[in-house]
Copies of this chain bind each other. A is one copy, B any other.
Amino acid sequence: MKLGMIGLGRMGAHMAQRLIHGGHQVVGFDPKPETRRDLKGKGVESTDSLAMLVSSLPAPRTLWLMIPSGEPVDGALQELQPLLAAGDTIVDGGNSNYKDTLRRARIFDDCGVGYVDCGTSGGVWGMAEGYSMMIGGSEATVEKLRPVFEALAPAKNRGWGRVGPVGAGHFTKMVHNGIEYGLMQAYAEGFSILQHKSEFGLDLHQVAEIWRHGSVVRSWLLDLTAHALDGNPDMTGIAPYVADSGEGRWAVAEAIDLDVPIPVITLSLIQRLRSRDSESFSDKLLSAMRNEFGGHAVKKA
Contacts and interface: CB of A to CB of B under 8 A. Distances in A.
Contacts of A203: 163
B299 A239 contact: yes
Contacts of A214: 121-122, 126, 129-133, 153-154, 158-159
Interface string A244-267: 010001011111101111111111
Interface residues of A, number: 136
Copies of this protein in the assembly total: 4
A139 interface: no
Contact of A201 (B164, B176, B191): B164
Nearest to A162: B206
Nearest to A155: B213
A167 to B, nearest CB: 7
A10 B293 CA distance: 12
B187 A262 contact: no
A190 B217 contact: no
Nearest to A218: B220
A220 B221 contact: no
Given A164-B200, A238-B299, A124 B293 contact: yes
Contacts of A176: 190, 211, 215-217
A235 B186 contact: no
